[in-house]
Amino acid sequence: MRGAGKERFTVVGQPLPKIDAWAKVTGETRFADDLSLPRMAYGKLLRSPHPHALIRRIDTARARARPGVYGVLTGFDLPRVKFGILPVSQDEEALCTEKVRMVGDAVAAVAAVDEETAERATELIDVEYEVLPPLMSIEDALGRPEVRIHEYGDGPNVHKAVSLEFGDVESAFARADLVREDVFYFEGNTHLPMEQHCALALWGPDGKLTLWSSTQTPHYVHRLLGRILDVPPAHIRVIATPNGGGFGGKLDPFAHEIAACKLSQVIGRPVKITLTREEVFYVHRGRHPVLMWVRTGVTRQGEILGMHFRTWLDGGAYGSYGVASTFYTGALQTVTYRVPAYKFEGARIFTNKPPCGPKRGHGTPQPRFALECHLDKIAGELGLDPADMRRRILAEPFTKTANHLTVTTIGLGECIDRVVLASGWRDKVGQLPPGRGIGIACSSYLTGAGSAIYWNDMPHSGVVVRADRSGGVAVLCGAIDVGQGSDSILAYLVAEVLGIDPKDIRVHAADTDLTPVDLGSYSSRVTLMCGNAAIQAAERLRGLLLGTVAAKLGVAAEALAARGRRIGLPDDPDRSVSFAEAVVLAESIHGVLAVPGSYAPPKRAGKYKGGGVGPSPCYSYTACVVELEVDRETGGVRIDDVWIAHDVGRALNPLLVEGQVEGSVYMGIGEALMEEQVFRKGLHKAPSLLEYKSPTTLETPEIHTILVETDDPEGPFGAKEAGQGPLLPVIPAIANAVHDAIGVRIDEIPITPDKILKALARKREGKPARIGPERLPRFAFPAPRLVESAFGQPADRVAARPFQGGAGGPP
Amino acid sequence: MPKTLLRLSVNGEDHDLAAAPHKTLLEVLREEMGLTGTKHGCELGECGTCTVLVDGRPVLSCLALPIELEGRAITTVEGLASAGRLHPLQQAFAELGAAQCGYCTPGILLTARALLADNPRPTRQEVREALAGNLCRCTGYTKILDAVELAALRCAGGA
C-alpha cells in the first residue's frame, strides 16, 4: 500500500473525530485524580524549604500521633537505592535521607483520612537541616567547585561534558568568505500541563502492587518500581491514566508515585497523592536554560562550510534525562541544512534548582533559536534574503549528516515556498512600516528516538490486535494517549488495514499487565512506532481472514479485499462475507485471533560515543513565518499571524495534525515572549498559573497551518511526527520578526517588554542594539572525540529493521 | 470540622448531602457527589479549568462555597447533554478536534455555553474575550474558537 495515492485509503487522511472525543466532551474521561477506591487514603509529601542542605534529623512522632493519620514515611523506610530515568544518572531518592538539593525535594510522606489532615500532619514533621551554600546559576556552580551538589559527574558540579568533532571545522573556517560568531541565551520554562500529576497505589493483601498514574511512560515506571521497592517486577502492574497534558513533564519516575506505593504497603489501604499546582512547578523536568555560542563559516551565497556549536545547560539538581538533553543541544543542527564539518561541545551543570529534563522538542528548541537567529544575521551580513538563503542550503534527502544521522525524505523546500507565498513574504520583508516586522525560521525534529533509554534488543513498541466473534476488534498497546490522539491513530490504522470502521475498534492502552510494552509517549515516537506495530499486527490478522475467506469462496487470497466491513472479491458483492463472519470462519480454523505486531527502529546509530542520541527513523521538517507588531512605548509584542508549513510525511488525520501544529505554535509563542522558570534564593518566582505567564486566547494569534506530505518510507503509511517539531521554528521566527520590526536583536528568550525597551534605548544611544549574554563561562571542554564526517554519504532508501519478517506472527 | 447539611440543585436535580462548610463547590462536586467531570487546574481561581455554571453564569467552582449556593441552579459538564443528546457545543468540539487532552474542556464548554446564551452569534474576537480566562495548553485555542463558532451557527439553525 506504500506509495499509494490518497484515493486508496478509506480512513487514513480523513478528518475524523478522535475515538475518545465523546468521552472528553462529556467529562467521562477518567484522569488519575478522578479515580477513587474504597478505604482510600490521601497522601502528601513534605518538601524541603531549602535549596541546599544536609538533613541532620527527621522526627515524625508528632505527625504520627495526629488523629486521622494512617502512616508516615521517610526515606529510611524505603530501600536505600538511588534511581534516575537514565542508567548513567542514578542520583535521586524518592524521599531524601542525607541531603536536599532543591526547594521542593521530598523528605517525608504522610497518608491520612483526607488531604487536609495529611497536609496538616506534614507540618508536624520536624526536620533539622544544616544549610549549605546554594548554587543558583551556571556561573555559581562552576565558580564554587568546593561546594558539591553531587559527588559524581565530569567535574565539580559538572554533570556531563561532551565534545565531538566531525570533519575539520577549522579548515572549513579558513576557506569561508564569512565566519560569524554569536552568543545566545534561552531561559528555562516549564510544561504546565493543565492536569496536575497524580498517582493512586494499591498494594493488595496478595502482595501485588497496582499503580495508576498520570505518567507518559508506564513501562519505565514499572521497571523502576521493580528495582526500588521490595516487590518483584512480575507482581507490579502500572496503568497509565489518560494524561491531562504532558509535554514531557510526566516522563520521569516521581517521588509521589513511589511514596504512594510504599504508603499503601505500610498502611494496607489504597493511597492517592495528587500534586498541587505549586508542586508541579517544583517537580518540573522542563526546558533547560541554555547558554550558547556558535561560529559558522559560509560562502558568499550562505552555503555552510563548517559549524562549531557550544552549549552550557543549567541542569538543576538532578540528572533526569539531562545527558540526553545535552547531546540533543548539539545533535540536530546538521539535519536541516548542509553542514559538511561540525563540532559540538556541551556541558550540563548541576545547580540547586528543580531538575530540567525533556520538554516538547527536548534540548533542541534552544539551539534552534540560536541557529536560526544566527543564520538570519549571516543573511543580513551577506545581503541575502533569509528565506532564499535557507532554501538554497537545505540538507539532501536520503543522505547522512556530518554526525552520522540518516536523513530520509525532506519536504522543507516546499514548506519554505508555501509559507513565503502564503504570508506575502516578498512584499513584506524589510518593507513593513516601522514597528511591524516579519521573520522566518526553519527546523527539523525526530520521529522517535532511535535508541531506548536502556540497551536491549526487544521491540520499542508492541501491539496486539484481537478480533472478536462480534466483528469488534480490540487493539492493545502500551502507549498512553497524552491528548495528541495516539489511541485514535491506532484505531484508524487498524481500521484501514482491516477494512472496518474505527468505531468497531476499542483501544486498550498502557496497562503493563495487559498490553505489550511501548517505551512511552516521548520523542514523537508513538505514531511511527506503535503505528508500524499496529499495521504489522493488523496485516497479519488480515492475512488469516483473507486466507480463510479465500478457501471458502474458492478463490486466491490475493484477489480478495477487506473493505466496508466485508471481505471478498472487490467487484463482486455476492462473493464476499461480512467481517464478523470472516472472523468466525478464521477462528474456527486458527483458534483465538489475537495477533502481535512489533516495531524497533532501524539500527543506524553512529559508531561513536554519543551516537545513540539523534538517530531517528525519519525527521519532520517545518518552516514558519511570523508577522507581528512591537509597541515601542511599552515594549509589548503583538503577534498577528503565524504561517507554518509542516512536512508530516502523511497526515493520517489532518485534523489531529493541525491540532498538534497549532498547539506547538501556541507553546512556542509562550516560550518566546513570556514563559520563564526563574528563581529567587531557591524559590520559584512564579509558581502559579497567574504569575507564570502563558498565552490566553487573547495572546494567541490566527495560525495558518499548511501540511506538506512526503510519504516517508519509514513511517506508517508514510507518516512522520507532528507533535514537537512545529514548536521549534516559532521562537526564532518571532525573534527575527522583532528584528525586522525595530532593528534590535534580542538574543535571549523570552523576549519580554523590558528587554525590548532596553534594546531600543541602546539603539537611541548609538550603542549596539542587542540584548543578550555578554560573556561566557570559563570552562574547559574535554578534547574532542574526532570522528570522520559522514556528510553527503548516500543512505538506503529502505532500511532493514528488526521484527520485519514473519517471525512472531501466527502461522 | 462538623459537616453541614446542604441541598444543592445540580444539573436539574436536588441533592441532599453533608459537607464541611469550608469545602469548595469543586471539592463537593468531585468528592461528595462523584461528579468528576469538573476538573481542577490550580484551586486558586487562576485557570478556569473548574468552571461550572450557577444560574447560567460561569463560576470558578474552586472559589465558590456550596453553602452560599443553595437554591441556585448549578450546571456541570455532566448536565450539558440532555436525554443522551449532546449539546451542539459538545458535538462541535468533538467533530473539530477542539478537545486534545480534554482536561480544560469541561470548563471551556460551560464558559462557551454562557457566552452563546448571552450572545448567540458572537464574533471571533468576542469568543476570544469570553474564553480568555480559560487556559488550554494543548490546542493553541484555534480549534476551540472554530468549534464555538460552528456550534453558534448550528444553534442559530445555520448549519
Q: pLDDT, tens digit, for every residue of A544-565?
A: 999 999 999 999 999 999 999 9
Is the pLDDT at A4 greater than 70, yes or no?
no
- What is the tens place of the pLDDT at every residue in A85-110? 999 999 999 999 999 999 999 999 99
Sort residue A383 into left (φ over 0), alpha (ψ -120 to 50) or beta.
Answer: left
Contact B106 A27 (CB under 8 A): yes
pLDDT confidence band for A798 (50 / 70 / 90): confident
Contact A21 B95 (CB under 8 A): yes
Chain pair A-B, CB pairs under 8 angstroms: 176
Tell me how close the Cα of B69 comes to any Cα of chain A, in angstroms. 22
What amino acid occupies position A765?
Answer: E
pLDDT confidence band for A42 (50 / 70 / 90): very high
- What is the tens place of the pLDDT at every residue in B108-122? 999 999 999 999 999
pLDDT confidence band for B159 (50 / 70 / 90): low
Strand A505-509 and strand A473-477: pairing? parallel
Nearest to A703 among B40, B86, B142 (CB): B142
Which has the closest alpha carbon to A255: A115, A110, A106, A42? A106
Nearest to A689 among B46, B90, B145 (CB): B46
Strand A566-568 and strand A561-563: pairing? antiparallel
* Other Cβ atoms within 10 Å of A511 Cβ, number: 18
Tell me how close the Cα of A795 comes to any Cα of chain B, in angstroms. 36
The Cα–Cα gap between A752 and A737 comes to 14
Provide the β-strand partners of residue A680.
A683
Tell me how close the Cα of A28 comes to any Cα of chain B, in angstroms. 6
Query: How far are the Cα atoms of A79, A178, A300, A423 from residue A383, in angstroms, in the given order?
Result: 63, 12, 9, 21
The Cα–Cα gap between A327 and A615 comes to 11
pLDDT given for residue A7 in this prediction: 65
Contact A25 B100 (CB under 8 A): no
Contact B138 A34 (CB under 8 A): no
Strand (E) or helix (H) holding A156: none
Q: Is B131 in CB contact (< 8 Å) with chain A? A: yes
Average pLDDT over chain A reads 96
What amino acid occupies position A336?
Answer: T
Q: Is B55 in CB contact (< 8 Å) with chain A? A: no
Q: Is B143 in CB contact (< 8 Å) with chain A? A: yes
Is the pLDDT at A6 greater than 60, yes or no?
no
Which of B33, B142, B150 is best to mutate for the A interface (most A CBs within 10 A)?
B142
Which residues of A are less than 8 Å from B100 in CB distance?
245, 483-485, 659, 663
**For cell 559527574, what's the residue?**
A153
Nearest to A690 among B36, B46, B132 (CB): B46
Contact B140 A31 (CB under 8 A): no
Which residues of B are less than 8 Å from A484 in CB distance?
100
pLDDT given for residue A797 in this prediction: 80
Contact B78 A26 (CB under 8 A): yes
- What is the tens place of the pLDDT at every residue in A319-375? 999 999 999 999 999 999 999 999 999 999 999 999 999 999 999 999 999 999 999
**Eight-state DSSP code of residue A429:** T
Hey, which residues 18-47 in chain B have their CB within 8 Å of chain A? 30, 35-44, 46-47
- pTM for this predicted structure: 0.97
Give the nearest chain B residue to A19 (CA atoms): B94
* Other Cβ atoms within 10 Å of A457 Cβ, number: 9
pLDDT given for residue A2 in this prediction: 40
pLDDT given for residue A810 in this prediction: 44
The Cα–Cα gap between A702 and A675 comes to 20
Which of A18, A20, A26, A706 is best to mutate for the B interface (most B CBs within 10 A)?
A26
Which has the closest alpha carbon to B143: A702, A625, A566, A604? A702
Which has the closest alpha carbon to B93: B133, B134, B55, B56? B134
Q: Is B82 in CB contact (< 8 Å) with chain A? A: no
Q: List phi, psi (to 5°) of A213.
A: -150, 145
